[in-house]
Chains A and B, each alone.
Chain A
């Protein structure tokens, strides 16, 4: 087979076939375009402001390692003026997290970034090893997930940082969209697709600069840039449900590589139709709410990478049209009236919506307050972490008290 030449530079041998548009690229051009696209995501959604202190949630895995590397490169190349810090969570899992933290420590040296490690033990008085010892392996991911969410925020606060970036990639987002769709949780689906999440109460906002980057390209980027990352599955049982969504996504990708970005975009489109869930994830945000609204708006079309190149092009056009219809209420009426016109006899459909609004939890927007125990933001009196901790502390073996 004669070597194919790179579609961009036309001189080097193509080594990469991009999943989203089948472009065949050489190593150098691939690295450039990967970085350029992340830069585009960052600038088109106004993710950062000059001088901002940003913590990179670093696990030592491929995604966060690539994120740290790309952000360092872009920060220097385009003069973002960011103050980047690595923030790692030590869940306290021997044989897994202690090893990956070694990778993060090496990354801190390689990228010349300060590193902060926050442990579950210091935050909650429990390591995950101890949690598993107490409750068993089943369901331990719930604890870990609830604890981690707070831990990143708290770690950022300790550092006086108000913005945490995470390495979530397009595959992760697509996976989450599918999971929430399968659970019927449209409210969460909406939140999971936003590039920036956060709330006035949380004080720390989160964003996903790699939201449009394929996992495949992240792995290839790490490979071709010879990045040092850690890859081992957590020793405690993986989430079975996520696992199924994940294999489904991977199989879809094989048949139709653009499916992943298409799911992400469908998720974004659906989120705008969710009643009570505005397209802006943080309408109560401290930093001007107006600054956020365009984030999500831009972000869909702004990615640009897909428009016109894939069979999804017409969807992008429709999306544009949708965006012109300012409010989602307008959209709902639109849909309903179209239906009514088409099927005059069928009156149930328009009625369905109000019923759903009243009954389903998906439609109720969470009202955030603060946990009475730890002060962390929560929609309940006592936050999830404190509730879990209470249960744990009751069961703590006598010896340890």
Chain B
């Protein structure tokens, strides 16, 4: 939590933003300050200048709105990510750029971290970044009430006024 709060977003002046609403339900709201609806202005493009898509939004939410340490309830399998990360780290010598606490590792968006990484690690993180930008299995994503599978999943590019709903199927019965 503290890592996300203190970490200033990459300073890009006068960024264009897209106004959207993001809803959390099925128990996910408790990870996001117990608030169901979030009205957000997300950057129109990611750090590499690509148009913001759902994958970017998931990473963006992880680093800005996710207030709960249980990030693995939102993004894909924490363990898989962390273990591949540690594996790659053991091959390199640059631990210092990464937060040491495992729980906050997930906050480091691969895109933020990539420039300072050694080549090998960058490679692994690129491979893993596909997973990190995806919500975990068991979470449904609806884009304007439509299943994200019909809209191109992570690759769907955000439009002004979009409503993105993340709903967990994992809780209660």
Contacts and interface: CB of A to CB of B under 8 A. Distances in A.
A13 B142 CA distance: 14
Nearest to B165: A223
Interface string A224-266: 1000011111000000000000110011011000000000000
Contacts of B149: 17
Interface residues of B, number: 26
A219 B150 contact: no
Contact of B27 (A1, A16, A64, A231): A231
Interface string A65-101: 0000000000000000000000000000000000010
A100 B171 CA distance: 12
A175 B151 CA distance: 29
B170 interface: yes
B95 to A, nearest CB: 29
B173 interface: yes
Contacts of A315: none
Interface string B129-173: 000000011101010011101111000100000000101111111
Contacts of A251: 137
Contact of B173 (A13, A14, A61, A250): A61
Contacts of A63: 173
Given A231-B171, A254-B137, A15 B147 contact: yes
A216 interface: yes
A59 interface: yes
A63 B173 CA distance: 5
Nearest to B157: A1
B35 to A, nearest CB: 15
Given A60-B172, A223-B142, 10 more contacts: A62-B26, A100-B172, A171-B169, A223-B167, A230-B172, A232-B27, A233-B171, A233-B172, A250-B136, A250-B137
A62 B172 contact: yes
A220 B168 CA distance: 11
Contacts of B127: none
A21 interface: no
B104 interface: no
Contacts of B27: 231-233
A215 interface: yes
Contacts of B138: 246-247, 250
Contact of A14 (B77, B140, B150): B150
B25 interface: yes
B98 interface: no
In this complex, which of B27, B149, B150, B172 has the most chain A Cβ atoms within 10 angstroms of its Cβ? B172
B77 A247 contact: yes
A277 interface: no
Top 6 closest pairs, chain A to chain B, by CB? A61-B172, A250-B137, A231-B27, A231-B171, A250-B138, A15-B146
A12 B112 CA distance: 41
A4 interface: yes
Nearest to B77: A247
Interface in A147-181: 167-168, 171-172
B116 interface: no
Interface string A1-26: 10110000000011111000000100
B150 A4 contact: yes
B30 interface: yes
A62 B146 CA distance: 19
Contacts of A232: 27, 30, 171-172
Nearest to A168: B173
In this complex, which of A13, A15, A168, A224 has the most chain B Cβ atoms within 10 angstroms of its Cβ? A15
Contact of B26 (A1, A172, A219, A254): A219
In this complex, which of B26, B140, B149, B173 has the most chain A Cβ atoms within 10 angstroms of its Cβ? B173
In this complex, which of A216, A218, A231 has the most chain B Cβ atoms within 10 angstroms of its Cβ? A231
Given A1-B152, A62-B26, A231 B172 contact: yes
B15 to A, nearest CB: 25
B172 A24 contact: no
7 contacts: A16-B146, A16-B147, A64-B173, A167-B173, A223-B167, A231-B25, A246-B138
Contacts of B167: 219, 223
A253 B173 CA distance: 19
Contact of A253 (B137, B151, B156): B137
Nearest to B136: A250
Nearest to A4: B150
Nearest to A257: B149
Interface in A17-74: 17, 24, 27, 59-64
Nearest to B27: A231
Contacts of A230: 172
Contacts of B30: 232
Contacts of B173: 59, 61-64, 167-168, 172
In this complex, which of B137, B152, B156, B167 has the most chain A Cβ atoms within 10 angstroms of its Cβ? B137
A220 B140 contact: yes
